[in-house]
Amino acid sequence: MNISFRKILLPFSLVVALISGGCGNKPAGETTDNMADTSAVKETAKKPGEVQKYSQVPSPGEMFSFIKQLGNKAKDDVTQLNSPENLKKYNDNKSKALNFGIYSADLLFCSTFNHGAEALKYFVNIKKLGDDIGISTAINEQTATRISNNISNPDSLANISNDLYFTTFDHLESNDRGNTLAMVMAGGWVESIYMVTSMEPVYKKDSPVITRVAEQKYTLENLMDFMKKYEKDADVASVLKQLDNLKAEFDKIEDAKGPAAITVKKGKKILGGGSTGIAVTADQYKAIVEKTMAIRKMMTQN
Partner 1 sequence: MNKIRLIILASVLCLSVGTLSAQSCTGFHKKACSSGASEGWVYNSQSKSGLFEAGMSSEIKIVIFKDFDYAMTLCNEKALGKGELSLSIKDAKTGEVIYDNATDDQSQHIEFTCATTRSVIVTVTAPGGDGNKSSKASGNDNKKTASKTVSAKSAQTVDGGCVGLLIEQKASSKQGF
Please report, as residue ranges, which positions from 245 to 264 form the binding site for partner 1 (by CB under 8 A): 255-256, 258-262
Q: Considering the rule CB under 8 A, would residue 170 count as an interface residue with partner 1?
A: yes
Give the nearest distance from C-beta 167 to partner 1 in angstroms. 9
Give the nearest distance from C-beta 240 to partner 1 in angstroms. 17
Q: In whole angstroms, what is the distance from residue 151 CA to residue 111 CA?
A: 8
Q: Which residues, numbered 171-200, are part of the site for partner 1 (CB under 8 A)?
A: 173-174
Q: In whole angstroms, what is the distance from residue 17 CA to residue 108 CA?
A: 39
Give the nearest distance from C-beta 214 to partner 1 in angstroms. 9
Give the nearest distance from C-beta 252 to partner 1 in angstroms. 16
Q: In whole angstroms, what is the distance from residue 281 CA to residue 204 CA?
A: 9
- Produce one character per residue of 118-134: b if its CB has 16 or more CB atoms within 10 Å, e if not: bbbbbbbbbbbbbebbe
CB 98 within 8 A of CB 145: no
Q: For residue 242, give every residue at least 6 positions away whose Cβ sits within 8 Å of its Cβ, in sequence order, or none.
A: 295, 298
Selected from 11, 22, 201, 274, the binder of partner 1 by CB under 8 A is 274
Give the nearest distance from C-beta 194 to partner 1 in angstroms. 19
Q: Considering the rule CB under 8 A, would residue 272 count as an interface residue with partner 1?
A: yes
Cα–Cα nearest to 292, from 207, 178, 216:
216
Q: Which residues, numbered 3-62, are part of the site for partner 1 (CB under 8 A)?
A: 5, 9, 12-13, 16-17, 19-20, 25, 27, 30, 36-41, 43-59, 61-62
Q: Which residues, numbered 74-103, are part of the site for partner 1 (CB under 8 A)?
A: none
Give Cα 83 distance to the centre of its chain. Answer: 19
- Produce one character per residue of 20-37: b if its CB has 16 or more CB atoms within 10 Å, e if not: eeeeeeeeeeebeeebbb
Q: Considering beta carbons, is residue 207 or 300 the nearer one to partner 1?
A: 207
Q: Considering the rule CB under 8 A, would residue 166 count as an interface residue with partner 1?
A: yes
Q: Considering the rule CB under 8 A, would residue 2 count as an interface residue with partner 1?
A: yes
Q: Considering the rule CB under 8 A, would residue 277 count as an interface residue with partner 1?
A: yes
Instruction: Report how many residues bind partner 1 under the rule CB under 8 A.
Output: 74
Cα–Cα nearest to 196, from 54, 53, 293, 86:
293
